Amino acid sequence: MLTVSTLSDQETEHLNEGVLVNHSAKDVLAWSYRTFGDQLVYACSLGAEGMVLLDLIAEVHPDAHVVFLDTGLHFAETYTLLDEVRERFPTLNIKALTPENTVEEQKQQYGDRLWASRPDLCCKMRKFEPLEKELSHYTAWISGLRREQSPTRKDTPFIDKDQRFSLLKICPLIHWTQEDVWAHIHERDLPYNTLHDNHYPSIGCAPCTAQVLDGSDERSGRWSGMQKTECGLHW
Ligand code: SF4
């Protein structure tokens, strides 16, 4: 089986420039499940891309493993969506990952606004560590990154070596635009986070997500006003 340690840089390039190039997201997913089977997991943030990927994955591999990082700090709308997703895709194995400390325990130990004082530490404890622990059981993971989302994502390939988690990382939606994503959601009548209808193009934890009202890039509402732009899960 391909793993992060057996796949050479040359083979990675061959997959991206040859085997997978010009293939649809569904084809990339089908190849991924043929290659990795149940050693593949989708880390879903329940964003708009997540709805598309869940829909495609449920068709390609109905009992696929899916994880959602339940930081305990999501909007109520996000938890409502999680229930709707479980109902819409009953065959998928959807697991919510929780941090070691509850929000209350974190508050007692670090103060009640760690996301404002030390957001990197907060993300490390509430997102990175639970995901790292779960991903240690797998060989590859799927992410909904798209190239047009932000300047830091403009060169994202279909498959890459993710040294941070020692896994292969597959991003089937790299060529999709925001319009493509929403066209698929509406065409398939998929559930989605209703905050998207209220100027929240990208949604994370409630304390670190703001509306985007000025036409800035779609991730500009995340950690708005801070230096931080990523939660540390993606390079
Ligand atoms: Fe904490 Fe904000 Fe990161 Fe959520 S996004 S884990 S609240 S710093």
ipTM of the complex: 0.99
pLDDT recorded at residue 222: 72
Percent of the chain at pLDDT above 70? 91
CA of 62 to the centre of ligand 1 (A): 31
CATH number at 9-197: 3.40.50.620
pLDDT recorded at residue 110: 95
pLDDT recorded at residue 186: 98
Q: Is 44 a catalytic residue?
A: no
| DSSP class of 218 | T
- 149 falls in which pLDDT band (50, 70, 90)? confident
Tokens linked to 117: 């004082």
Q: How many CB atoms are closer than 10 A to CB 155?
A: 9
Q: Which residues contact 126 (CB under 8 A, 6 or more apart)?
A: 69, 71, 72, 73, 99, 106, 205
More confident residue, 157 or 227: 157
- 14 falls in which pLDDT band (50, 70, 90)? very high
Q: Give the residue carrying structure tokens 């089986």.
A: 1
Asked whether residue 234 carries a pLDDT value surpassing 80, the answer given is no
Asked whether residue 226 carries a pLDDT value surpassing 70, the answer given is no
The domain locations on the chain are 9-197
More confident residue, 220 or 14: 14
CA of 208, closest atom in ligand 1: 2
What is the C-alpha to C-alpha distance for residues 150 and 138, in angstroms, rounded to an integer? 28
Q: Which residues contact 9 (CB under 8 A, 6 or more apart)?
A: none
Q: Given 136, 231, 232, 233, which residue is catalytic?
A: 231
Residues contacting ligand 1 via CB (< 6 Å): 71, 73, 115, 119, 122-123, 126-127, 204-205, 207-208, 231
pLDDT tens string 153-200: 899 999 999 998 999 999 999 999 999 999 999 999 999 999 999 999
Q: What is the mean pLDDT of the chain?
A: 93
- 152 falls in which pLDDT band (50, 70, 90)? confident
The enclosing H or E element of 67 equals: strand 65-69
pLDDT recorded at residue 225: 65
CA of 120, closest atom in ligand 1: 8
- The strand pair at 40-43 and 140-142 is best described as parallel
